[in-house]
Structure 1
Amino acid sequence: MSKEGMRLVPGGVFSMGSDRFYPEEAPVREVSVDSFWIDETPVTNRQFADFVAATGHITMAETPPNVEDYPGMPASMAVAGSLVFEPTAGPVDLADVSQWWHFRFGADWRHPLGPDSSTEGLEDHPVVHIAWADAVAYAEWAGKRLPTEAEWEFATRGGLHGTDFAWGDELAPAGAMLANYWQGLFPFSNQLLDGWARTSPVRHYPANGYGLYDMIGNVWEWTSDWFAPHKLHRKAKGSCCIPSNPRGGLERESYDVSVPTPRIGRKVLKGGSHLCAPNYCQRYRPAARHAQPIDTSTSHVGFRCVTRGTNAA
């Protein structure tokens, strides 16, 4: 496996989580991770197209759901598609995500806004409409894997620990836009101070201290960990102090108990996206995390890969 386009992140100890924003990020605790290699950028449309050409992979968004797997789902909805963000005309109830998320038939990685759209001109943008199994399939084809939540957060900090954001304690120091996020009032008024209404090309914003791009904003990124409260993280066997390479909970612990059926496991997403805003979802931070059902793809979720080791191939 070639490590071209990857960066070595030296292992170490860091303070994972945050006590300052959302409860699922707490508590702050010391953990350690081993050294690993990580992709410099999220996987792009160009890279994913190469994977599909080589393998014939068909993504979950391109596959009609089986009504038997989703009790109560109308047969008319058993059509391939994915969730697409659409801005609202004005202020709405921010607790009702159906105001801006719409399941669009024919939306997939090739057609990010629906069947009449394409990725022409977006070759160097992050691939989106990727379910967890699609990300795993790509990683295995590339001889890599998805990062753990701890690896992802450690890498995002770029050696700068203890700050709210990946670059310091100010979201926009001196007015500088350092990541692709929503400026203005979500979900109806985007000031576009960064120039992008949706995804942006990778490497458009400055790299962090490890030479990594777009770890914050642009698209959420899948990790390999099941979502669970941080209190469920286990210490490494035989350890009495700092957990080493911690992992998330069990699949059953990741279920959304407010949804009676079907029980769909949820993995941890990290990094926030171009839809995170100061008035909604302030998750453009290393410690931020989101529980995403593994069968769900959207127009703002992508991924990058990692691999263990300390020497280039």
Structure 2
Amino acid sequence: MILIKNGKFLMGSDSEDGFIYDKEGPPTLIDINGFYIDETSVTNEEFQNFINETNYITEAEKFGNSFVFAALLTDEERVKYQKADLMGIWFDVPGANWKHPQGPKSNIINKMNYPVVHVSLYDAIEYCKWSGKRLPTEAEWEYAARGGLIQNKFSWGNELKQNNKYNLNIWNGDFPFGNTLEDGFLDLAPAKSFEPNGYGVYQMLGNIWEWCINAKNVSLEYFQKKKTDEISNLEINENKEYAIRGGSYLCHDAFCKRYKVYSRNGTAPRSTAGNMGFRCVKDI
């Protein structure tokens, strides 16, 4: 884990490149207590160790299905399985879960250093309990993602590319068809595929959405008024959506745009998909 020291930072942005209903601004000064954060998203290998020791069964395994990106399925599978959205980007695939990310015929044998996906908020919390850690608040997540930079769009600055190269895994080209693979990936990338930020933390932008412990769309002032332990100890409410951060390999300016350090999103706590995982934090 990486030590993130005490500090204050401006959370959020007044940029107009997001969605007004995401409540990304106005920039709000937040006081952060120091904490440790996982160097990478939790990997398949780490999650496998958790499963081996606890025999835990994930939500996707219990429900028997999860969402898989259309381009990762064969033509036959796209005819066989049910579309999960009007655009046909996602399919509801029986047998898709953390160890079978594209359905029952797939596996993670050669992907142990990839982020674990198809993980619900409840699954992530159970892993945290086992590992002696917890999920971050959005404020902690963003503070770590910024890497010490002040009011920049990305973990490395304001330009999407560094030295004319991508430093994150998002959709390149025309969405949702015609990925140019300029960043090297159609699907997930290994957890250490790109350069770490100024704190030494890897890939907090792109690749996968990462769960946070607070409810979706709380105001930024919420993190001024509430202590971390107050937020972390609240019981999960089935009727609320919870924050996810970072964007994923499907982010594109014509679609979700939510791959900046201040971008916000959320979903139901039992949601699972092939681009949803998490990383943990720990109090000092």
Relative to the length of structure 2, the TM-score reads: 0.88
1:171–1:246 distance in 2 versus 1, CA, 3 Å: farther
Q: Mapping of 1:1-313 within 5 angstroms?
A: 6-20=1-15, 21-23=18-20, 24=22, 25-64=24-63, 80-87=64-71, 98-230=87-219, 233=222, 235-236=224-225, 245=228, 264-309=239-284
Q: Which runs of 4+ in 1 moved over 2 A?
A: 234-237, 244-249
* Residue number in structure 2 paired with 1:75: none
Q: Distance in 1 between the 2:125 and 2:228 partners?
A: 20
Name the SS for the 2:60 alignment partner: helix
Name which of structure 1's ranges 101-110 and 17-26 shifts more when overlaid on structure 2: 17-26
Structure having the higher Rg: 1
Q: Distance in 2 between the 1:150 and 1:124 partners?
A: 27
Q: Deviations for 1:64-119, whole angstroms, at most 9, x for unmatched residues?
A: 3xxxxxxxxxxxxxxx1101111399xxxxxx555211111100001000011111
The alpha-carbon deviation at position 229 of structure 1 amounts to: 3.9
Name which of structure 1's ranges 195-204 and 52-61 shifts more when overlaid on structure 2: 195-204
Asked whether the equivalents of residues 235 and 246 of structure 1 are also in contact (C-alpha less than 8 Å), the reply is no
Q: Distance in 2 between the 1:62 and 1:197 partners?
A: 25
1:7–1:234 distance in 2 versus 1, CA, 3 Å: closer
Q: What letter corresponds to residue 186 of structure 1 in structure 2?
A: F
Q: What letter corresponds to residue 68 of structure 2 in structure 1?
A: V
Name stretches of at least 5 consecutive residues in structure 1 with no aligned partner. Answer: 1-5, 65-79, 90-95, 238-243, 256-262
Q: Distance in 1 between the 2:149 and 2:186 partners?
A: 29
Asked whether the equivalents of residues 225 and 248 of structure 1 are also in contact (C-alpha less than 8 Å), the reply is yes
Asked whether the equivalents of residues 150 and 246 of structure 1 are also in contact (C-alpha less than 8 Å), the reply is no
1:181–1:140 distance in 2 versus 1, CA, 3 Å: same
Name the SS for the 1:221 alignment partner: strand
Q: Distance in 1 between the 2:58 and 2:108 partners?
A: 16
Asked whether the equivalents of residues 30 and 224 of structure 2 are also in contact (C-alpha less than 8 Å), the reply is no
Relative to the length of structure 1, the TM-score reads: 0.80
Asked whether the equivalents of residues 28 and 220 of structure 2 are also in contact (C-alpha less than 8 Å), the reply is no
Name the SS for the 2:127 alignment partner: helix
The alpha-carbon deviation at position 228 of structure 1 amounts to: 2.5
Q: Distance in 2 between the 1:160 and 1:169 partners?
A: 10
1:163–1:231 distance in 2 versus 1, CA, 3 Å: closer
1:104–1:132 distance in 2 versus 1, CA, 3 Å: same
| RMSD (Å), alpha carbons | 2.4
Q: What letter corresponds to residue 53 of structure 2 in structure 1?
A: A
Q: Distance in 2 between the 1:182 and 1:247 partners?
A: 37
